[in-house]
Structure 1
Amino acid sequence: MSRFSYIIACAVLTAAVCFGQAVSGTLLGTITDSSGATVPAAKVVVTEQNTGVSRSTETTAAGYFAFSDLPPGTYTVNVQQTGFKKGVRQNVAVLVNTTVRVDMQLQTGDVTEVIVVTAEAALLQTDRTDTGRQIETKQLAEMPLGFNRNFQNLVNLVPGTTRVFRPHSVFFNAQDSLSTQVNGQSRLANNVQIEGIDNNHRTGLLTALIPPIEALQTVDITTSNYEASLGRAGGAVTNVLLKSGTNDIHGSGFWFNRVSALAAKAFLTTTKPLTVYNYFGGTIGGPIKRNKTFFFGDYLRVTDHRGQTDRLTIPTADFRAGNFSGVSTPIYDPQTGTSTGGGRTPFAGNRIPDARLGAVSRRILGLLPATNLPGTGINYEYNSTLVKDTDSFDVKVDHNWTDRDRISVRYSFQRPTVFDPPSFGEAGGPHGGGFQGSGVQKAQNAAVNYNRLFGPALIAEFRFGVNRYRNDAQQVDYGKNASEAIGIPGVNLDDWTSGLASVDITGFSNPMVGYSASLPWIRSETNFNLVNTWTKTWGSHTTKWGADIRRLRDDLLQTQTQNPRGIFRFRQGQTSCSADCGASTAAGFANAFAAFLLDLPNDIGRDLAVAFPAWRQSQYFFFFHDKWQINPKLTVDLGLRWEYYNPAKPRFAGGFSNYDADLNQLFVAGIGNVPLNGGMQANYKNFAPRMGLAYRLTERDVLRAGFGFSFIPFADNTYMYNFPIKQNNTFNSLNAFVPARLPDGRVASLANGFPAPIAATIPSTGIILNPQNQVYDVINTRFREGYVPSWNLAYQRALPKNFSFEAAYVANRGVRIPNTFNLNAGRVLGAGAAGRPYFARFNRNVDTNLRFISGDSEYNSMQVKLDKRYSNGFQVTTAYTWSRAMANAGDDNGGPAWYINPERNWARAGFDRRHTFVQSYIYELPFGKGKRWVQGGAGAWVLGGWQFNGILTLMSGGAMNFSSNAPNNAPGNAQTPNVSGPFAILGGVNDSPWFDTRVFSAPAANTFGNVGRNAASGPNFYNLDASLFRTIDISEKYKLEFRAEAFALPNSPGWQLNNPNTNVNDPNFGLIRGAGGNRSMQFGLRFMF
């Protein structure tokens, strides 16, 4: 690595890198005379109208000028040359990561004569070939934002995006980060920055810190054909720019309130939970010294006491007593028949004798409430209140040291605390997938940015930033020996393993009791950014080159392969019969619950934390980009980016452990001859070319085309954390019809618990031979990052009345997209563990997961925008996407569904939606001072200041993936139902099926169903969020704004139906048991000065 140290040192000393235009924009143009001839050597001066800061340059021999790295703002452009009248263009808006063209034609005359033109907002993108959208200050400030006033609510204003959603638990994602899939790529392929500084939470690919919407100036979202300075993404690169101070003091105070009394009851629920939401704070910005130094700051407090309604499936009184006489599926006695499930006889009357019921199972059932709704499906409803309080603030100072030197310093902070109550008290339960307890999070993002102007044609930039994130969470019963108390031995060994084990039963809301396998955890990430750039204008070229250097620190104590308290999984095979029992062999959810009553799990597992996993990594990115203005009509972009990911290393020797599946050996990093990086080989071949052209067909028409490569960095949430860093004890059954066994031959049951953990001893060689039968991760030491070649062809037309239309073909292909491949999945249908490749060789009957290899995807789309720039009190944005996303693996680094007949995996992506239409609008009523009508008097006071805003969203249905619990006895392979007729939508909800379930059936044991992956589409999604504003001018400087905002205004559950249940063995199969779309109201006050 010494050669890299040398390269980096040279880069830091001799360059200063552009983040593309992470906190700046470009203003360029061509100066001509009245005959159309170019005017060389004309002096061009740009002045930011709010701060008074100026820059100057001269036109080239071709009459061309360019100002790169301009801070976003509103500029005046002055052009003068001897023999011509002075030309002035006012109110030129420059946004972050945009290129604005200002062409001017000088008139013959004296330079003392001035021709002033007020610029209109640019309608055409004439000099760039990327796709995306700028979300500007007005939209950020005035759009109705439903989810915690998060700017990411507006991401769907960009074509190519799927519906935004909130991933992960309320603890892991306490900041309420929203995600979306962009242009057919996983949400993990997105990259988020604050003013060019990394703002990613790496282990979950979330936005680490969400600045208050009141603090934001613009949000720039680039979705395809990024400039060479941008990378580490295959989806969207989102860059957030905070406001800065100006020569005038400006600020605001605000309060938003939402309560359940003004909300509609959720669809199908019987009660309405209590919600009290308050969002309040303030902003202020202004000069420290006029035209020299400026400040901006904000503070936000959010108290979110959010009502929640859970509708669960829990066992009925008959089920708890072992009485299954009311279900049609027979419950077979596992003590009869053969070890492969044949020849079994059912229990008499479909009742399990009381003496056969497990003692621990009975105690667990005593922790559950009685059902309060009829039936065996959704039969229990209750309300709870999530309590989350958040404090955040930002501070920013901009200082113009000299006419050539500018520095900006920024610090952002956010701290949410969360408590989410469990379903069944300390017994935990299904709420939130078992994420129930308390958590605290602290995120910080800071940066220093320095710009040096060496002359009119040469600019250098230096930036250093830090992104830090810390998150701790614990389940409610942390510190208590709840498993031991209920009779499950060998579980509660220390605080980390304290609490109640989880029970998972097919067909019920899970975990039935216990908590998520992810709890508890301690997470900490710190990312350092060092960026340098040169920008050089010469002739008709603007050239940028530079480097972006990152140092990552990741500390994560979390054992989530199984569960630190243990997990017991009960499936229907234990009380069902294989095909030789006759025609009536279909098994259902009742069989799985019967297995629980008999205490016969299919598999059990637990994780133990042995060490605190922590790793460090350096990343180096270099780029070169040239924008060539061939003539006033044609601009060509050419760029090359090189990305180098130095193999990560653990913080201490022994901190990584990689498994070699063919040798059945573990290699412990930093011990003996095993390298500290685990033997990972560096990849020096990540070259990403970028190219594009923009051609102005006429003054109102532009044609653009672009092509480029992007690399998707190593997904680091699952690295080399095998034994002895953590220890997972997994005990699987040899086939679907017999229970799992412990090493001593006893049934792996609740009553028998877990054996004592194996001591973590590491040989001096660093190589552990014949390790125990655990789930292991395998990292290919020759790993190569996945990449996405993407291309687009766009036509844009400027229309009358400040409208513009754009239609673009946008496509890409994902190559080597990170996913997970189970090397030890069954390769023989019906063979059980014997069909696993490593069973015969090493007696391994558990999974062996090869991480991050060979996923493929394909995306094609037509993306249309119809926008109206804000003018005369009216603004509209429209984004329509027709698309098709295909892939051969699940989302979020998921793996194939089938290892037998793998060609079945190629299907539409799980997030694919064929049609997406999103339109936003801002409409100020044309009454009152400065408006068209009723400009004075009492009428102006009554009618003036009113404004309507809204976002309309229409999306076709997402994918439905059908499944079945029928045993195929091919571990690791998915199971789907059989279908015998056409898929027909019936449109029912609640107790009436949404689709015709009669054509579906469970496949026979030891066979696959014939339904493919993501085979049908669910209900369409419609939504309308709207707001009504009234702004009162207290004086020229002071304004008061009242807001009434409605989310899901139509209050129609048919607009936002959930997907129906798609498990053919589930009692809710085909039924829609919930929906969004219940209206909520929010009121707000803003005082502005």
Structure 2
Amino acid sequence: MIDSAEVVIESASNGFRRSGQSSSVGIYRIAGLPVGDYTMTVKKAGFAARRYTQVGLQVGQTRTVDVQLEVQASATEIEVVAGAAPLEQTNAEVGIVIGQGQIESLPLNGRNWSALMALAPGATNTGEGNQNTVRFNGRGRDENNFTFDGVDATGVKDPRQEANLRLNISLDSIAEFRVSSGLYSAESGNGAGAQMNLVSKTGSNVFHGGLFEYFRNDKLDARRPTDLLGKAPFRLNQFGGNLGGRLLRDKTFFFANYEGLEQRLATTLTGAVPSASFRQSALAVPALKPIIDAFKPGTTRTSNAEIDNLTSVASQPWTEKSGLVRLDHRFSDKVSAFARYNLDDGSINELRNALLEMRTSNFRTQNGVVQLQYILSPNLLSETRVGVNRSALHRDTNGTFAEGVNIAGLISLQPNRSEVEIGTSFSGIENLTWTKGRHTFKFGGEYRYITLILADTGQVTTAFSSRPNFLLNRADSVQFASALPGLKGLRPYYFAYVQDEVGLSKSLTLSLGTRYEYYSVAKTSDGRGRVLDLERCGGFCAAGTPWYFADKNNWAPRAGLAYAPESLKGKTVFRFGYGIFYGPGQIDDVNAAIDSFPETYALSSATQPLLSFPATNFVSQARSTGISARALQRDRRDGYSQQWTVSAQQSL
């Protein structure tokens, strides 16, 4: 073992340089390196220096490069091409890194990066192969966790990202990402399933960029059996470009990316509408005219004199605009920082029926991070991150009539309605890495503050159980759903971990750590929420009482052992691991009290025989159907999983 050998890591693309020394037992470790390709030089007086080129480092990887220095009197340097990354020799994690080559070459429907999650060991695709349908090792989809450049990248209200969008994070913005299916270290948590850690691209001293466009067109498609009126028009254009480079050589770099999606997919819808004779009969009652006018004339007759069929062909526009900007700056060999902002605006329109009533969902996801990396000493590294993650949805249903109307045998008129759902998380993260002898200690924590805003305009729906009753304006029931005001829920998370990775020998590495996770109880910002607990409170509890009792015992130990026998030249690794993994679980369940359905009022012809349209004339007579309270076990415990693994990996 050679102590005090100088180890220098350099990147030709951006002038990055980091140095360190081997310990008294001949072990060296350079922590906190960005992903990329490096040149590594190891030298000491009296020995021939060794220079390793093409040393690639992937996201979340601890790469092992064993060095043998030969005694040499004269100044000599031996060059070695490191090539592809060797097998992971330091932990028991089960996972995969999706590199730039796979991202660029594998075909992806809609260019959605999340389809590549299914390549990881333990993955099960239960549907379309995206954030919403890929599960790992039997765990639920809501137990996966997503991070982007080390900060929260979930859907906030839901652990998964917004699955309705294709460009949450543009494919060309991603340098690579890691899927950790299980047995990951104490650094990662907030989910008992898999960890998805994405890393954004950066600029370099060399300017680089690209432009692209993909398209689909119905002219290239065969006619489907359901296209009775001919092929439905279809236009899809997906286009974008990116540019990266330097602002100051070896100091300041930038990367910017834009991707747009324009889709116009026509669909054929058929439904029953009033015939001309039925319309004429209904107009004899002036109050029914607004309802009749909301129905379009039919396109074909039926055997029923009161009903015509309406067939409509219309487009459902889908638009997305996604962009990312990243700026990196190196203040000195010890201090560097970067800032990155990602935005995706999406508008998805869905036809509800042949009347072309439309539901429009406007999404906006935003994710930003600022990181400062500071080398406090040759053996101590600090990483500080501040991040914000926001997922906003504004959904409007626009009908041909303001209220909902259900008439037996005819298309139901959709009520106009607006919904709002805005989730935001703010994160502060500190990670420290300390190398001492054979040990590499890592410890840190995160404070995450979550806000959730929910609102709904409410609706009115009138029902007629038969068409004769409608012609007589005899309504059978009416329902008034109250509006849900803009409630704001608040919920902080607290995470902390400590980990030790020790090289017991050249071929044997032990990793030990523990993680603590505390998920506080959500509360409303105005404090108006009330808990009904007959056992503990004898009814309604005092103001400020939490919905349930938070679980404060979420200790998650982790242990891993990796053995790479020297006799097998590092081409075979045996791994053994055990760990406990916690997560917030089904977030909708524990936040349910915040978006409890508001009070609903109803009236039927049984209690008011003269019930008719417009139903607003009878609002004062409607009676409450009761408060739709949400139920939750107050002494619940956060879900967790225990995982263990015994595996062998062979390089072919």
Q: Which amino acid aligns with 2:334?
A: R
Residues 1067-1086 of structure 1 aligned to structure 2 (within 5 Å):
none
* TM-score, normalization by structure 2: 0.85
> What does residue range 597-612 of structure 1 map to in structure 2 within 5 Å?
607-612=481-486
Task: Give the unaligned 5+ runs of structure 2.
Answer: 279-287, 304-308
Aligned to 2:55: 92
- The percentage of aligned residue pairs carrying the same residue is 24
Query: In the alignment, which residue of structure 2 is the partner of 1:46?
Result: 9
Aligned counterparts of 1:635 and 1:540: Cα–Cα separation in 2:
10
Alignment of 1:641 with 2:515, yes or no, is yes
Query: Which structure 2 residues correspond to residues 432-451 of structure 1 after superposition, within 5 A?
Result: 436-451=358-373
- Alpha-carbon offset, residue 600 of structure 1: 12
Task: Give deviations 1:352-393, integer Å, cap 9, x for gaps.
Answer: xxxxxxx99x9799669578999xxxx997643221222222
| Contact 2:273–2:411, Cα closer than 8 Å, also in 1 | no
For 1:929, the equivalent position in structure 2 comes to none
Render the CA deviation track for 1:566-619: whole Å, top value 9, x for unaligned: 48699xxxxxxxxxxxxxxxxxxxxx9999999999998653125321111111
Letter in 2 for 1:636: L
Distance in 1, Cα, partners of 2:427 & 2:251: 27
Cα displacement (A) at 1:407: 0.6
What code does the residue aligned with 1:200 have?
A: T
What's the CA shift string for 1:747-779, capped at 9, x where partnerless?
Answer: 99997969637999xxxxxxxxxx963432123
Return the offset for 1:115.
Answer: 1.0
Rounded to whole Å, the distance in 1 between the matches of 2:407 and 2:381 is 62
CA distance in 2, matches of 1:130, 1:503: 59
Name the structure 2 match of 1:275. Answer: 234
User: Is 1:614 matched with 2:488?
Assistant: yes
The separation in 1 between residues aligned to 2:302 and 2:32, in whole angstroms, is 63
Residue 472 (str. 1) matches residue 391 (str. 2): no
The one-letter code of the counterpart of 1:272 is K
Cα drift, residue 539 of structure 1: 1.4
Aligned pair partner of 2:552 in 654, 667, 684? 684
* Partner residue in 2 for 1:1047: none
Letter in 1 for 2:192: G
- CA gap of 1:597–1:45, structure 2 versus 1, over 3 A, is farther
1:206-285 equivalences under 5 Å are 206-208=160-162, 210-266=168-224, 269-270=227-228, 271-285=230-244
Matches within 5 A, 1:717-736: 717=588, 726-729=597-600
Residue of structure 2 equivalent to 1:196: 150
Match of 1:163 among 125, 146, 166: 125
Q: Aligned to 1:207, what secondary structure does the other structure show?
A: coil
**Partner Cα separation in structure 1 for residue 516 and residue 504 of structure 2:** 26
Query: Deviation string for 1:998-1021 (max 9, x for gaps)?
Result: xxxxxxxxxxxxxxxxxxxxxxxx
CA apart distance, 1:547:
0.5
Structure 2 residue aligned with 1:384: 314
Q: Find the partner of 2:633 among 775, 780, 789.
A: 780
Deviation, 1:724, is: 11
Letter in 1 for 2:511: D
**Partner amino acid for 1:161?**
A
Note if contact 1:177-1:210 (Cα within 8 Å) is conserved in structure 2.
no
User: Taking structure 1 as reference, are residues 59 and 369 closer, same or farther at Cα in structure 2, changes over 3 Å only?
Assistant: farther
In terms of mean alpha carbon deviation, does 691-700 or 268-277 score higher? Answer: 268-277
2:281 alignment partner in structure 1: none
| Structure 1 residue 410 corresponds to structure 2 residue 340 | yes
1:674 aligns with 2:543: yes
Q: C-alpha separation between the residues in 1 aligned to 2:134 and 2:152?
A: 18
1:877-904 CA deviation, whole Å, 9 max, x = no partner?
A: xxxxxxxxxxxxxxxxxxxxxxxxxxxx
Q: Which residue of 2 aligns with 1:294?
A: 253
Give distance in 2, aligned partners of 1:388 and 1:122: 41
Paired residue for 1:529, among 420, 424, 427? Answer: 427
**Is the 2:516–2:555 contact (alpha carbons within 8 Å) kept by the matching residues of 1?**
yes
Aligned to 2:101, what secondary structure does the other structure show? helix
CA distance in 2, matches of 1:632, 1:373: 83
C-alpha distance 289-730 of structure 1, shift in aligned 2 (>3 A): same
2: CA distance, partners of 1:567 / 1:231? 49
Structure 1 residues 105, 610: closer, same or farther in 2, change over 3 A? closer
Partner of residue 623 from structure 1, selected from 497, 506, 529: 497
How many angstroms does 1:471 deviate by? Answer: 2.1
Q: Which residue of 2 aligns with 1:802?
A: none
Q: Amino acid of the residue matched to residue 234 of structure 1? A: A
> Which residue of 478, 493, 499 maps to 2:403?
499
User: Take 1:791 and 1:602, find their aligned partners in 2: how far apart are those partners?
Assistant: 60
Deviations 1:298-323 (A, max 9, x none): 1222222233456x7x67999xx9xx
Partner residue, 1:971: none
Residue type of the partner of 1:683?
A: D
Q: Find out whether 1:120 has 2:24 as its counterpart.
A: no
Which has a greater percent of strand? 2
Cα distance, 1:623 vs structure 2: 0.6
Q: For the Cα contact (< 8 Å) 1:75–1:91, is it kept in 2?
A: yes
| Contact residue 742 and residue 748 of structure 1 kept, 8 A | no
The alpha-carbon distance between structure 1 residues 681 and 593, as it changes in their structure 2 partners (threshold 3 A), is: farther
Q: 1-side partners of 2:601 and 2:434: how far apart?
A: 60
Q: 1: distance between equivalents of 2:209 and 2:344?
A: 20
The correspondence for 1:150, drawn from 112, 115, 127, is 112
Structure 1: runs of 5+ lacking an equivalent: 1-37, 168-175, 322-358, 429-435, 483-497, 506-510, 571-591, 732-740, 761-770, 800-1089
How far residue 640 of structure 1 moved from its aligned partner, in angstroms, is 0.7
* Equivalences, count: 627
Q: Partner residue of 2:563?
A: 695
Letter in 1 for 2:404: L
Q: Does the alignment pair 1:424 with 2:354?
A: yes
Residue 705 to residue 605, structure 1, CA distance change in 2 (3 Å)? farther
Corresponding position of 1:565:
460
* Contact 1:613/1:721 (<8 A) preserved: no
Contact 2:144 2:160 in 1 (8 A): no
Q: For the aligned residues, what is the CA RMSD? A: 4.0
The SS at the match of 1:302 is strand
> Is structure 2 residue 24 aligned with structure 1 residue 61?
yes
Q: Is the 8 A contact 2:500 2:513 kept in 1?
A: yes
- 3-state SS of 1:162 partner: strand
Distance across 2 between alignment mates of 1:778 and 1:535: 44
Q: CA deviation at 1:78?
A: 0.8
Deviation at 1:405?
0.4
Structure 1 residue 520 corresponds to structure 2 residue 430:
no
TM-score for the superposition, normalised by structure 1: 0.52
1:712: how far off?
2.2
CA pair 289-222 structure 1, distance change in 2 beyond 3 A: same
Aligned to 1:945: none
Using the TM superposition, give the Cα deviation of residue 501 of structure 1 relative to its aligned residue in structure 2, in angstroms. 4.5
Q: How does 1:716-755 map to 2 (within 5 A)?
A: 716-717=587-588, 726-729=597-600, 742=604, 745=607
CA contact 1:179–1:206 (8 Å) conserved in 2: no
C-alpha distance in structure 1 between counterparts of 2:594 and 2:349, whole Å? 33
Query: What residue is the counterpart of 1:305 in the other structure?
Result: 264
- The separation in 2 between residues aligned to 1:607 and 1:178, in whole angstroms, is 30
Q: 1:143 to 1:599 in 2, by over 3 A?
A: farther
Query: 2:242–2:255: 8 Å Cα contact kept in structure 1?
Result: yes
Q: Give the distance between the partners of 2:149 and 2:594, measured in 1 at CA.
A: 40
- In the TM superposition, residue 164 of structure 1 has moved relative to its aligned partner by 6.6
For the residues of structure 1 that align with 2:71 and 2:136, how far apart are their CA atoms? 51
What secondary structure sits across from 1:96 in the alignment? coil
User: In structure 2, what is the Cα distance between the partners aligned to 1:386 and 1:218?
Assistant: 33
1:811 corresponds in structure 2 to: none
Secondary structure in 1 matching 2:117: helix
Is the contact made by 2:216 and 2:236 (CA closer than 8 Å) also made in structure 1? Answer: yes
Summarize deviations over 1:262-308 as a string: whole Å, max 9, x none.
12334654442211112222211111111111111112222222334
Q: By how many angstroms is 1:667 displaced?
A: 4.1
> CA contact under 8 A between 1:228 and 1:690: conserved in structure 2?
yes
Q: Which whole-Å CA distance do the structure 2 matches of 1:265 and 1:451 have between them?
A: 57
